[in-house]
Amino acid sequence: MTQKLYRQDAYLKTNTSGVTSSIDNVIILESSIFYPLGGGQPGDIGTLSWDDHEAEVINTTINEAGEIQHILSEESPIPKIGEILTTAIDWERRYLHMRMHTGLHLLGSVLQYGVTGGNISASKSRLDFDMEEPVDKEKVAQDLIKLVDENHLIQSKWISQKELREQPELIRTMSVKPPSTDQDIRLLAIGDIDLQPCGGTHLNSTGEVGQIRIGKVEKKGKRNRRVYIELID
């Protein structure tokens, strides 16, 4: 299993690690700062460098064994097993994902309904809520901005699978469940306003989200409202 450095520190931009598997254009390392596609958040992109070579990582995924798979472009050189690489993520893109992901958690704390789906991108992100009534965009936007301005501290807490099963109310996502392969589950705590399992990359405080607004609100069914958020700056 790859050591997932992004879980320890989402602000790591570079790292040095050895290659444990190299099959075609899929590279597995001993440790990785690259976040793999999952939970609605895109996989990181970036570069792997060694000697005079540089390979482009065009996507990152995770396999059933918990190994982070760095997918290289067709034109990239392929490192050998045992090669020591310098890895670097596209930090500007990752940081936008972090702002968006934390912003969605704030949106979920404002709209206290079950979440049936979601998606994150650098330009706009969304959550789908299990609700019938219309969304008051103006009030939701005001509440969201207030939480950002209050600059709540964001921290990680860890519980076991057993503890999570004993507290099912912590899981608000109706379509995505925490990974059952991890021995410990991370709880993301945003001040005292939100606490839920999440494996994504997040900010240190809500103030880092920056200027944010509510985008489109769509009715996707009798009990489904899709709410988009957008970053202004």
**Mean pLDDT, consecutive 10-residue segments, the chain of 233 residues?**
94 98 97 96 98 98 95 97 98 98 97 93 95 94 97 91 70 57 79 91 98 95 93 90
Q: Please state the pTM of the whole predicted model.
A: 0.92
94-231: what CATH class?
Answer: alpha beta
Tokens 């790859």 -> residue: 2
118/175 Cα distance (integer angstroms) = 9
Domain 3-89 classification at class level = mainly beta
Residue pair 33/6 in contact by the 8 Å Cβ criterion: yes
Report the alpha-carbon distance of residue 66 to residue 45 in Å, rounded: 18
How do the domains of the chain map onto residue ranges? 3-89, 94-231
CA 31 – CA 20 distance, rounded (Å): 10
Alpha-carbon gap, residue 128 to 141, rounded angstroms: 16
